[in-house]
Amino acid sequence: MLVIRVKVETGVKAKKERFEAAGKELFVAEVKEKPEHNAANKRVRELAAAYFKIPVGAVRIITGHRSPNKTIAIRAGDTS
């Protein structure tokens, strides 16, 4: 299991959606969704899954559900 930190910008602040490395275990994500009704968190999980080429179910937000600074667990080799 890989644990990464992600800094997220949401809504109006995000000019385009992206998920990219900013360090060894630090990533930056920009999503167009607003941080309402878990929409931004869902999109961050989708972008992380696409980046690591794994299913969305293999990406779990551990901490930071209501914060722009998140800790995310990536289950590598998951096929669910």
| Confidence band of 76 (pLDDT split at 50, 70, 90) | confident
Q: Is the pLDDT of residue 80 over 50?
A: no
Overall average pLDDT of the 33-55 stretch? 94
Mean pLDDT, the chain, integer? 90
From 7, 19, 11, 3, select the one nearest 73 (Cα to Cα): 3
What distances in angstroms separate CA 43 from CA 5, 24, one per listed residue? 16, 22
What's the pLDDT band for 12 if we cut at 50, 70, 90?
low
Neighbouring C-beta atoms of residue 20, cutoff 10 Å: 10
